[in-house]
Structure 1
């Protein structure tokens, strides 16, 4: 049995906390980005993701099986399909909108800065990418932001994004390493409709 894999979540959390407290502040050294902090928190050396969607209309069997991805980026429709009011592609603006509860998260693929309108939030460009005609979202960062136990990270930016994205219908996300593997299981629990 690989003891280092069992202890890894705890070691990564401690290393993350230490990294955030010992880094010098100021212009000489920038703090790691939210995306980097997400990777440090529990995704270092991870090769694959098993995504399990729970709650909402998911059957226990479907939630138990999960879906495997070999990238931190997964299709937006695979994550949010059937759980939000709408997912729309705007070919003129080169954006994808995830609409729910009267608010919208915008994934911007235009390469240009866009301003959010009322009830909209534009996600950072590093949180998404377009590949083979599919809009993909960075599950590492989203999981970190919506982590069930995320308050333990004492990360104000993470908490701020969690509040901004609370309309997406995700109650919380949880991460568990796969023993004897370099994969991780991510459980995303949606609110019941």
Structure 2
């Protein structure tokens, strides 16, 4: 709330403010205070764990909570199957965790909790968070790509059927496009939530 006017300041939700630990919490000279961003990440994680616990019952006749969890898992599984194929099943845990963490973070940040005096903090509205998530995913793509294809991974930068006279240009364009992908993925989520 703004001073004296009783108005809600819309920019307040974008400020990273330390909650505690500002003086004594340091590692290698860097302050590692617990901030509102870290608190909302913890809240998103706790809510996600509570949601997932609804699906751990394993009943033959599922409860509503179990159906919600199974539906979310099935959605991610179908998405990976259609984009990667049957081998995508091994990546379901990571993609599901990332998808649900971002979903819960965005939903929690958009709740109208300011009405009751709690200012929600959409931590995905900061490029540092979305950038780290994008770099983690990009690193996994690189590791899996080199693990599965070796140096043949670089042949993905030359699309099948490329005319010979475009061979000097297309791999360069594809490589730049591939290297910019983590930045563009992180930037899209950051901009959408800001």
Q: TM-score, normalised by structure 1?
A: 0.27
Higher helix share: 2
Q: TM-score, normalised by structure 2?
A: 0.27
Higher strand share: 1
